[in-house]
Amino acid sequence: MESSAIEARGLHKRFGGVHAVRGLELHVARGEVFGLLGPNGAGKTTSMEMLEGLVIPDEGEIRILGLGWARDGKAIRSRIGVQFQSTQLDDKIKVREALTMFASFYPHARDPDDLLKLLQLEDKADAYQSKLSGGQRQRLALGLALVNNPELVFLDEPTTGLDPQARQGLWEMVRRLKSEGRTVLLTTHYMEEAETLCDRVGIMDQGQVLQLGTPRELIASLNQPSYAELEFEGDAPDVAPFAERLGMPVEAKEQHWVVVLTDPRHDLQKVLNCVEALALPMQQLHVRRASLEDVFLQRTGRSLRD
């Protein structure tokens, strides 16, 4: 039987008094796009770096593509790709030069010009990497991780700080990696990213994976299929008469109310009837389905964006 891409059991890492990773268990199948989703400080990078062989765990076991770091580090390294922060590159290096330099480390490297095409950086081949936009720089960093044609690719917050369009571009590349049969482990604190890109997601907080599954499974576990958000012009009116008449819990924010629709077919009608009956000055009504953000909120009582 073919081994998994990643197997981690009982990983722990402490930095002085900080217990950064507490008992991480992870199984990632080949061909999967797996996301670790969590806020800053959750332990995502430390987890990633242990799996990449850059940080030695205090406890636990790691198998990468069926191999262990202690005995087969060199073999593992030749088969994985790690996205570096491109800020670690010399400012005076040009895009094609960087790809060529990285290619020289490997016996069967990909042709830099093919990579430039894949990354849509052909017209930037002779530009200094320091002159690239954020999105271009992230694509270059991804390209450097792909030089050795890796079976398994590690991407640590690949789209942090990118504008929506650049983010879409990166997502497209990740989808492409999957379609080529590669395995991807990525970290993110953007729930949309985890939701649209990942086959499975581990929700991480304070060094632990709190919940793990497909985005659909995680969201379904809430038993809260959707939410209605009622917006008002200016501040929202007193919520009490509405909540009483509706007979469902209403979360009142400063400028809008949120109602959980457990049965959208009936509940939405009730909401509208109450708005009508009380002649509320509602300006906008949004219905949105539950998201991974809501899963995180329910598990931790905090927002991912804190």
Shortest gap between Cβ of 253 and ligand ADP (angstroms)?
28
Closest CA to 194 of 166, 225, 215: 215
Which of 5, 6, 11, 20 touches ligand ADP by CB under 6 A? Answer: 20
Q: Is residue 203 near ligand ADP by the rule CB under 6 A?
A: no
Nearer to Mg ion, 4 or 45 (CB): 45
Cα dihedral sign for 176, 178, 180, 184?
Answer: positive
Please, which residues have CB within 8 angstroms of residue 4's CB and are 6 or more apart in sequence? 27, 28, 29, 30, 63, 66
Nearer to ligand ADP, 51 or 116 (CB): 51
Shortest gap between Cβ of 45 and Mg ion (angstroms)?
3
Give a three-class secondary structure readout of 81-134. EECCCHHHCCCCCEHHHHHHHHHCCCCCCCCHHHHHHHCCCHHHCCCEHHHCCH
Nearer to ligand ADP, 38 or 81 (CB): 38
Cα(181)–Cα(151) distance, integer angstroms: 8
Question: Among Mg ion, ligand ADP, none, what does residue 287 contact (CB within 5–8 Å per kind)?
Answer: none
Which residues are near Mg ion by CB under 5 A? 44-45
Shortest gap between Cβ of 13 and ligand ADP (angstroms)?
8
Q: Is residue 85 near ligand ADP by the rule CB under 6 A?
A: no
The contact mask relative to ligand ADP for 36-75 (x = CB under 6 A, - = no) is: --x-xxxxxxx-----------------------------
Helix (H) or strand (E) holding 57: none
Shortest gap between Cβ of 82 and ligand ADP (angstroms)?
15
Nearer to Mg ion, 42 or 89 (CB): 42
Let me know how many helices (H) and strands (E) the chain has, helices first.
11, 13
3-state DSSP call for residue 10? Answer: strand
DSSP state letter for 175: H
Residues in the interface with ligand ADP (CB under 6 A) total 11
Closest CA to 150 of 114, 188, 112, 181: 181
Nearer to ligand ADP, 45 or 136 (CB): 45
List of residues contacting ligand ADP (CB under 6 A): 15, 18, 20, 38, 40-46
